[in-house]
Amino acid sequence: MNTQWLQVPVLIFGIGPTELILIILVIVLLFGSRKIPEIARGLGRSLSEFKKGKREGEDEAGKDDKKDQPPAASDSK
């Protein structure tokens, strides 16, 4: 008999669906249903600001690398 369909999938860090539901329930009880969207919005904004700063830093580093390189010599012999 194939019992593969009886197995419950294991999520991240070995957390199953029951544990995940309990964690969500505790979060809702602690913060309340009105505060959770505000927290999520704040996290989204901070993540987008972080990505924007990272992109700007990479652009600045790329500009600095181009300045440090000597001009290419032309081979017109």
Residues 8-50: tens digit of each pLDDT = 566 667 888 888 899 989 988 998 888 989 989 999 999 999 9
What is the pTM (predicted TM-score) of this model? Answer: 0.49
Q: Would you give the DSSP letter of residue 54?
A: H
Per the listing, tokens 């081979």 go with 75
d(CA 38, CA 65): 41
Distances in Å between the alpha carbon of 30 and those of 17, 21, 23, 33, 34?
A: 20, 14, 11, 9, 11
